Amino acid sequence: MFDKIYYVVEKATNMEKELNELENMSLVELAKLKSDKDVNALYLKLFGQNGNFTKLLKKLKEIPQSERPIIGILANKIKKNLEEKISKQKKLVANNQLSDWLDVTAPGTPPKLGHLHIVSQTISEVTRIFERIGFTRRRYPEIEWEWYSFDSLNMPVNHPARDDFETFFIDLPPNLKMGKVVLSPHTSSGQVREMERAGKPPIRMINIAKCYRPNWDISHTPMFHQFEGLVIDKGINITHLKGTFEYFAKEFFGKDRKIRLRPFHFQFTEPSFEVDITCGFCKGRGCRLCKEGWMELCGSGMVHPNVLKAGKIDPMKYTGYAFGWGVERTYMMKQGLKIDDLRLLYSNDIRFLEQF
Ligand code: DAH
């Protein structure tokens, strides 16, 4: 399925390249022509029955229907430009206004500037928001032990997330305590690593990283990004968790947004919640997009005592909260974007990426 889509995009990209090349080469050639006869000949060479442009346009049939309008618009634009330049050259030839003089002081064509990928843009924005309230960005391994990804997070050996349908297992010898090697399926694997790094609370980390799960369809990519918050100190309770979400929602999504907590279940938190945010479109009144006014944002909860114990932190002395979010999803929710095929984010098609 993915190969096919990729192939389609590739074909369209090739045609786009050929059209642009033809335009550039023709303009260079045109600028050299000094007689009406030569200009007419170039016109025929491009747009005659067997002209290069005409032949190229015939290939439009081979491009799948979904891509055709984009290439069609480009072809029309190029044709119009070439025709205009040809008739201008004809006038210059007729009025004997051709000159070999080259203005070396004329400004050149500025090179096209790129920009950060939307996921990188979102990661920087999220990092800055959390840094303002004292969180520190941390990074933990993408190639991880089962222990940090599951066991230390209170996830039993038979938990469905540990199935090879849900996790990439690396073909390496397992370790007696750490278990097998996996590609980290969520940023929660950084929780116990952070407790070990800090030694003792206070902890206020934001871990933003790539995660991997073997899902590959229009709404999943096998590699995606999450950000994980972890706060541990004396006297941390649910009001701190709620306050952090309220702050984040207003900073990232806008002052008029509200959040709510809904009871849920995660192995590594107790109690656990799903956090919802008011829909940006109807502001919580309910609409076709969100149905009842709220959209799901992330998972969260108070860190389970077993997880604190795994990180050698005394649950009688310290409490904490944690949360986990998908970066791609958060970005799309902010922009009100509905990307039909999430794989577009990572297929490096410049026509898609340029829009952001
Ligand atoms: N790790 C969870 C996931 O990938 C998300 C999550 C839920 C993270 C609850 C948390 C949490 O820290 O408390 O679906």
3-state class (DSSP) for residue 223 = strand
Provide the percentage of residues in the chain whose pLDDT is more than 90. Answer: 63
Q: Which two tokens stand for residue 213?
A: 């799960």
The 8-class DSSP code of residue 313 comes to: -
Q: What is the pLDDT of residue 191?
A: 98
- Look-up: residue for tokens 């649950």? 315
Q: What is the pLDDT of residue 240?
A: 97
Would the CB of 186 count as within 6 Å of ligand 1? yes
Query: Torsions phi, psi of 174, nearest 5?
Result: -75, 160
Contact (CB, 8 A) for 242 and 256: no
The CATH number of 118-353 is which of 3.30.70.2190, 2.40.160.20, 3.30.930.10, 2.60.40.10? Answer: 3.30.930.10
Q: Whose CA is nearest to atom 8 of ligand 1?
A: 324
* Residues in the chain, pLDDT under 70: 1-12, 99-101
pTM above 0.75, yes or no: no
Name the residue among 194, 196, 169, 195 with its Cα closest to residue 183.
169
In the chain, where the domains are located: 2-94, 118-353
Q: How far apart are CA 282 and CA 279, in angstroms?
A: 6
Q: What is the pLDDT of residue 341?
A: 80
Distance 162 CA to ligand 1 centre (A): 14
Q: Which two tokens stand for residue 284?
A: 């919580």
* DSSP characters over 79-102: HHHHHHHHHHHHHHHHTT------
Q: What is the pLDDT of residue 68?
A: 85
Q: Which two tokens stand for residue 175?
A: 């370790």
Tell me the three-class secondary structure of 152-219, residue by residue. HHCCCCCCHHHCCCCCCEEEEEEECCCEEEEECCCHHHHHHHHHHHHCCCCEEEEEEEEEECCCCECC
Name the residue among 230, 237, 234, 148 with its Cα closest to residue 193.
148
Q: What is the pLDDT of residue 219?
A: 79
* pLDDT tens readout for residues 260-292: 999 999 999 999 999 999 988 788 888 877 778
Cis amide prior to 305 (ω within 30 degrees): no
Pocket test for ligand 1, best of 207, 220, 223, 300 (most atoms within 8 A of CB): 300
Would the CB of 323 count as within 6 Å of ligand 1? yes
Q: Whose CA is nearest to atom 7 of ligand 1?
A: 299
Q: What is the pLDDT of residue 208?
A: 96
Q: Which residues pair with 206 in a beta bridge?
A: 137, 229
Would the CB of 275 count as within 6 Å of ligand 1? no
| Distance, CA of 224 to chain centre | 8
Would the CB of 224 count as within 6 Å of ligand 1? no
Please report the atom of ligand 1 found closest to the CA of residue 300: 13
Would the CB of 322 count as within 6 Å of ligand 1? yes
